[in-house]
Structure 1
């Protein structure tokens, strides 16, 4: 204080010096080496990228990739350099260099910042070369692979979905009006979290569901970490409410009847000496992985059945053919087995894959942990590697001249000769950190969409079907969120009145492959 009062000129010089030092640090990091990937063309350095990412969001990299022929290019922002990989073959090579182009440092930083954990807990994530990050991923991979634990979770999930759809059933010759995306999101959130956490599911406590979506809406501000209590006040409040519900869940013995996942995650965190209150904070991020994408994927599945000419009728033909009907004491029961759906409904599965291709807006992000080469390109330590799926999925050189069209039959077995190599499908990421929940998500989306399509007829309240835009999709989700909901009048399909529906799952440890890594397993 004496210095500030006594010599304003010196103070000005110090500030000027600090600005110079910061500027030099930014310049030294962002200056371009000729061995690095070529710079993306810009009209105004730094600013053009900031404006482009803000305005065009997930389409910015797609548009940039059209202006540069290189399979990887450099995007420089103040203080941060990013390498954007737009070629599927090169993405495969990135995935093989997982030690030097790594995921754990980002996972640890993102989890700690968004969860609001203490410095001690944040350091625990980094110890022993991010051992806790690695083992947490191993737990998810092990518990969500086809087998007994996944089957148990699937049966709980299917039971919840079945009850929700049965409760939705309109009275005879009546309609029920719903917001399609809202109803699906709420239903699948409840089914997914109940299958994960058991009957004491913390997300079913009053206000927790809404608090989670408040938390999700402020993830970017939380991840940046600059004054989150001010710039992300609503998100912080939502996170605290969710964390409190999870702490109560632990105290009330909720883990005793949960799936293996939260129990094993809790035990491994305790073994790393993380206190229970902090474990609850880390667990708030778990819902981001298990909730965010199945709702919008199911929404687009159901909506595209009505928007794509003839698709609803063809899908119904497949689903009806593998639906079993039984009559007992005058009660008609129709049952759908999920394994049969996946094995006997190729158009349903193809439509699902096309939803994941067409509506995928996710970007895999890795951090360069030391100077390394990717093919002939030098990648500098500290830079980020971005791998946006959309640059591959919507590239006419990869998926043909109709890459920007929704083609539900694109992934039929008969169309394989017209498709690119299997690793060009990036619906679940890939490599060492391939989405571990892909089997559960596939079962949930296919089951819900199949029953909706087979059981109900829908009419748009606005009078015609329209495709919502999805420019405001959240930062953490991989599947495009509609900018506005679609309000529909729902009625029972003719000839299906007074029918009880059952969703079933035969015991199976078969790996049903829709990504190249699973094909290698079979």
Structure 2
């Protein structure tokens, strides 16, 4: 078990049994002297000396912890153990620590610094509600390296002379652009293009052979999303054939790009892809297309905010490739995991189909084609099993690392009398990968796809009174979209487009493996790395060829989404 320094009682529980630094130095020195005087080989001496040196450095340089701070969780290997563990395991390292019976919140020493890791639902909710913990510093920290911004651009981003900041005003612009009528209009624009692509499907029995289902879904929703954001007249993603490939190349390598000391050497293709994306989007803003009424409100509001803060069209274009990226990088892989998991179980496909049939309405046929309408905003209420499957796809796939920086010394509490001091300048991490797989919260086998996690007790035939505590824990543990003032404003945007597309597939189309059989192949998930939120498929989704064709009785149909 990892050793834990129980700071509140000043007791040290260490695997070595050493009580203080003086004792540690004395014993370590004795062991080293014994090795050297007994004629042990030079290699053994060097190895042992290195281990002893690390041990001594660990004793002397491990970050200090206040008695009221979360307890210290020391690494098994001195000083660098946690750092190596995070580098090798990425976000799965936190699950590994959790399985070793770690405390509900602990201080993780990393070299001579420290971070807080919280895995208790009540403590995380306390942190998310806290006014003294903020996500804002990370936006500024990462913007320069992620987007390659120059110092002049960063100076405007950091400027607080107007009594506000670019980031604060951009947050307001995002919320305004994705609320009320603006949200519905943007969803409608996305789904109009999705409908146009589905309506173009051949009417014959052969349907469409799709050699790579992941790439097909990715391109379908990428095309629809960019047209909704940037308008149909001058969409920058229509200017270069490789734009979508460039976007996903950039997305795939963002985690390693962020930490590379020499990105020009380690990531030349990714930097080239980013440069092409930025050049096309810069041209779009230079032409003033952000003032076109056809574009999404969120794109217009963000551009207006950036112009008001003094950014040039070139600077706006360089920054705003992030808009396209965040609009798709999590929603599209979530759609993939939803489709693949549901289509593994024909009974689930039928259950969703019956839910959707009750929501459909038909208009008068046009040129012999049925006009079938899906009322998107009603799906959340009238398709509870589809909604449960969507939420379960998010739970399974989303392992984002909630991150907050402590801006002032403050306390967080679990509501049961336990509270912890968190200190100014220290970062707190809240790993979804742990929260979304807590054994005492979710249904058995938390690694498996189980929509029952999101059905109400009544829908599962259980007494709500006996399930109330567990239901509260589930709500507190389900944090894929953050919380507090940083609650993701795009969560409904993604949910509506994913549920609407899924509803259309199960009612109007037959999805089958190209090689025959009934169930399409399940793809493996990659581990989620730092800087990512939702798992992508391994090997870029290779190995899932499907045939997509219109279902019998639904051949002559034109689909329309009503938002």
Aligned to 1:481: 536
Residues 1:420 and 1:134: Cα distance change in structure 2 (over 3 Å): same
Contact 1:121 1:278 in 2 (8 A): yes
Shift, 1:472, TM fit: 4.3
Aligned partners of 2:345 and 2:114: how far apart in 1? 41
* 2:114 aligned counterpart, secondary structure: strand
Match status 1:131 vs 2:165: yes
* 1:44 aligned counterpart, secondary structure: coil
Aligned to 2:487: 434
Aligned to 1:377: 420
Shift, 1:34, TM fit: 4.2
Shift, 1:310, TM fit: 1.4
* 2:285 aligned counterpart, secondary structure: helix
Contact 2:129 2:483 in 1 (8 A): no
Contact 2:362 2:370 in 1 (8 A): yes
Shift, 1:32, TM fit: 4.1
* 1:117 aligned counterpart, secondary structure: coil
Which of 443, 450, 454 in structure 1 is aligned with 2:503? 450
Contact 2:330 2:533 in 1 (8 A): yes
Match status 1:183 vs 2:216: yes
Aligned partners of 1:474 and 1:446: how far apart in 2? 26
- Please identify, of 301-310 and 455-464, the stretch whose mean Cα deviation from structure 2 is larger: 455-464
Aligned partners of 1:204 and 1:364: how far apart in 2? 34
Aligned to 2:94: 61
* 2:334 aligned counterpart, secondary structure: helix
* 2:115 aligned counterpart, secondary structure: strand
Contact 1:334 1:499 in 2 (8 A): yes
**5 Å matches for 1:5-404?**
30-78=63-111, 80-99=113-132, 101-128=133-160, 131-145=165-179, 147-169=180-202, 171-199=204-232, 200-206=234-240, 207-224=242-259, 226-257=261-292, 258-308=295-345, 310-328=347-365, 330-375=368-413, 376-404=419-447
Per-residue Cα deviation, 1:255-308 (whole angstroms, up to 9, x for no partner):
132222222222222222222222211112222321111111111111111123
State the TM-score, normalizing by the size of structure 1: 0.85
Per-residue Cα deviation, 1:188-209 (whole angstroms, up to 9, x for no partner):
1121121111122222221222
Aligned partners of 2:137 and 2:58: how far apart in 1? 22
Aligned partners of 1:254 and 1:56: how far apart in 2? 44
Per-residue Cα deviation, 1:28-82 (whole angstroms, up to 9, x for no partner):
6734444432233532134433443344333221221122342112222235422
Aligned partners of 1:154 and 1:345: how far apart in 2? 18
* 2:471 aligned counterpart, secondary structure: coil
Residues 1:46 and 1:28: Cα distance change in structure 2 (over 3 Å): closer
Contact 2:116 2:428 in 1 (8 A): yes
Aligned partners of 1:178 and 1:325: how far apart in 2? 33
Aligned partners of 1:185 and 1:453: how far apart in 2? 18
- Please identify, of 186-195 and 453-462, the stretch whose mean Cα deviation from structure 2 is larger: 453-462
- Please identify, of 396-405 and 411-420, the stretch whose mean Cα deviation from structure 2 is larger: 411-420
Match status 1:497 vs 2:550: no
Contact 2:401 2:431 in 1 (8 A): yes
Contact 1:85 1:388 in 2 (8 A): yes
Shift, 1:347, TM fit: 0.8
How many residue pairs are counted as aligned between the two chains?
A: 482
Contact 2:247 2:325 in 1 (8 A): no
Residues 1:424 and 1:169: Cα distance change in structure 2 (over 3 Å): farther
Shift, 1:222, TM fit: 3.7
State the TM-score, normalizing by the size of structure 2: 0.79
Match status 1:467 vs 2:511: no
**Unaligned residue ranges in structure 1 (runs of 5+):** 1-22, 506-522
Contact 1:215 1:237 in 2 (8 A): no
Q: Which has the larger radius of gyration?
A: 2
Aligned partners of 1:51 and 1:443: how far apart in 2? 40
Contact 2:397 2:535 in 1 (8 A): yes
Aligned partners of 1:46 and 1:166: how far apart in 2? 60
Residues 1:443 and 1:27: Cα distance change in structure 2 (over 3 Å): farther
Contact 1:302 1:453 in 2 (8 A): no
Residues 1:173 and 1:213: Cα distance change in structure 2 (over 3 Å): closer
Contact 2:226 2:235 in 1 (8 A): yes
Contact 1:473 1:482 in 2 (8 A): no
Please give the root-mean-square deviation of Cα atoms over the aligned residues, in Å. Answer: 2.6
Per-residue Cα deviation, 1:303-327 (whole angstroms, up to 9, x for no partner):
1111236111111111122122345
Per-residue Cα deviation, 1:121-149 (whole angstroms, up to 9, x for no partner):
2132223287211111111112101x222
Aligned partners of 2:105 and 2:262: how far apart in 1? 34
Residues 1:226 and 1:144: Cα distance change in structure 2 (over 3 Å): same
